[in-house]
Structure 1
Amino acid sequence: MNTPGNLGKTNPSRRLLAIEDDVDVQDIIKISLQLTRPDWDIWIAHSSNQGLRQAIELLPDALLLDINLPGENGFMTLNHLRADARTRGIPVVLLTAQRLVPWDTGKLGANGIIHKPFDPCTLAQQIETRLGWV
């Protein structure tokens, strides 16, 4: 839906926070989204703790959350996000290299899942599809 600030834009400005510990994957996320959605603000957190702090400070439109984070994993991070009234409503797309996923992302409080390795050329479309932004 177009609002006065983004009237006529096909990709309205979005603020996206990615919580990912792998530097190479961080770079792929940031570069691919900057190239395909230059009006999006992309933020990167390197750990669960940093991601939780940034989520509260930034209140992003959505989060990409790696499941296999060191220390507190993505599931624990997601639980913290859903338990905090400030971040409860932020849509979350999980990132995982696991191919057979035995969990229901909806029951976990996530809005979808993207499997690694993902196609950098279609990452923005995958995010938009899972979040209903299209």
Structure 2
Amino acid sequence: MKTSLNILFPDAFRADSPRPRILLVDDQMINILTLNEVFKEDCDVFMATNGEHALEQAASLLPDVILLDIVMDGMDGYTVCEKLKSNPLTSGIPVIFITAHFDEVDEVRGFELGAADFIHKPINAVITKARVSNQIALKRQTDLLHSIALIDGLTGIANRRQFNQAIQVHWQQANREKSDLSLIMIDVDYFKRYNDHYGHPEGDECLRRVAHAIKTSLQRPYDLVARYGGEEFACVLPKTAPDGAAFIASQIQTSVHGLAIPHAESGVSPHVTISMGVVTTIPGSVIDNTADLIEAADKQLYQAKKDGRARACFIELK
């Protein structure tokens, strides 16, 4: 009798939820094909036949769960799991080991490395579906709670905590790939004067509208805008060269200007304006850590304010 995943755990497979993504890792294609038959009806299934490819797939796809064979040529499943758990980008993905042997010592080692469960060959479709469904449901609940904890309550964008996590992840990835990483620090000009003149409720609404304008100016799903603190925002732009960062800064400036929020006490413009500091680097070339990257962007932001506000200042450090 066929048992669907959404029957076993309906809350994880609602019609309004995206299909779960499963990564199957095994150096024997027959095993991958067997598991694919189990999950293809309910899930988007991806495959890797060696450890190196599995790590690449996991980082790019960010699947909901990984089914990982232990015994493989080259990099074995234990090593793959260890590398997955050491990478902040993939550390939260549940790993279920697939093994033909039942050995308590091996299972203890697997759990110590961060495995979520074990499934034994030969594959029992009902048991396998139930265990995978359980891990997907748990992950989605965890992701939901995690996302709530990382959202700024006033503006609805990422908060400082999410910014701190994201910039570390993107820094490490850019360092591995030797690719550009750009950061924009943004400040609402003379916001204290705005609050004093219009009142805090209007000030809150101003921040919400500015945050939305910044967010809609970012074009890629992995670009991040966060409320850094008070009236200050930050944009993390992975794989973005100086000209690309300048273009995004221009888009943000145009979007905020288009809001035409009155600011009678500005002294710069009759409307709300922003100042920006923009830095682009390749991690390790000149800057060695994210703290120095933030400091460099802050210095450019300070220079933009010193030069008259309502503008952006740029620097390339690589």
Judging by fraction of residues, say which structure has more helix.
Answer: 2
Cα shift at 1:118: 1.5
Q: How does 1:1-134 map to 2 (within 5 A)?
A: 1=11, 5-6=16-17, 13-34=19-40, 38-102=41-105, 103-104=107-108, 105-129=110-134, 131=135, 133=137
Distance 1:56 1:110 in 2: 17
| Residues 4, 23 of structure 1: alpha-carbon distance in 2 compared, 3 angstrom cutoff | closer
Question: 2: CA distance between counterparts of 1:112 and 1:100?
Answer: 14
Cα displacement string for residues 40-99 of structure 1 (whole angstroms, at most 9, x for unaligned residues): 101110000110000011000110010001101000001110111111111110011112
One-letter amino acid matched to 1:133: A
Alpha-carbon offset, residue 13 of structure 1: 1.9
- Taking structure 1 as the reference length, the TM-score comes to 0.83
Specify whether residues 5 and 115 from structure 1 end up closer, same or farther in structure 2 by C-alpha distance, changes over 3 A only. Answer: same
Question: Which whole-Å CA distance do the structure 2 matches of 1:100 and 1:65 have between them?
Answer: 16
CA drift of 1:18 comes to 0.8
After superposition, give the CA deviation of every residue in 1:104-124 in whole Å (9 maximum; x if it has no partner): 243220000001111134421
1:109 partner SS: coil
Structure 1 moving runs of 4+ over 6 Å: none
Q: 1:39 to 1:21 in 2, by over 3 A?
A: same
Which structure would you say has the larger RCO, counting Cα contacts within 8 Å and 6 or more residues apart?
Answer: 1
Task: Kindly name which structure, 1 or 2, has the bigger radius of gyration based on alpha carbons.
Answer: 2
Aligned residue for 1:9? none
Q: How far apart, CA to CA, are the structure 2 residues paired with 1:117 and 1:4? A: 32
Residues 14 and 41 in structure 1, CA contact (< 8 A), matched pair in contact too: yes
CA distance in 2, matches of 1:122, 1:111: 15
Identity %: 28
**Structure 2: how far apart are the matches of 1:72 and 1:107?**
18
Contact 1:15 1:40 survives alignment (8 Å): yes
Structure 1, unaligned stretches of length 5 or more? 7-11
Unaligned runs of 5+ in 2: 1-10, 139-318
Asked whether the equivalents of residues 28 and 120 of structure 1 are also in contact (C-alpha less than 8 Å), the reply is: no
* Matched-pair contact (CA < 8 Å) for 2:59–2:89: yes
Bigger shift: residues 81-90 or 105-114: 105-114
Shift of 1:39: 3.2
Measure, in 2, the Cα distance between the counterparts of 1:132 and 1:5: 15
Q: What is the one-letter code of the residue matched to 2:24?
A: A
* Aligned mates of 2:117, 2:127 — CA distance in 1: 15
Q: Which amino acid aligns with 1:55?
A: A
Q: May I ask how many residue pairs the two structures share in their alignment?
A: 125
Distance 1:132 1:23, change over 3 A: closer
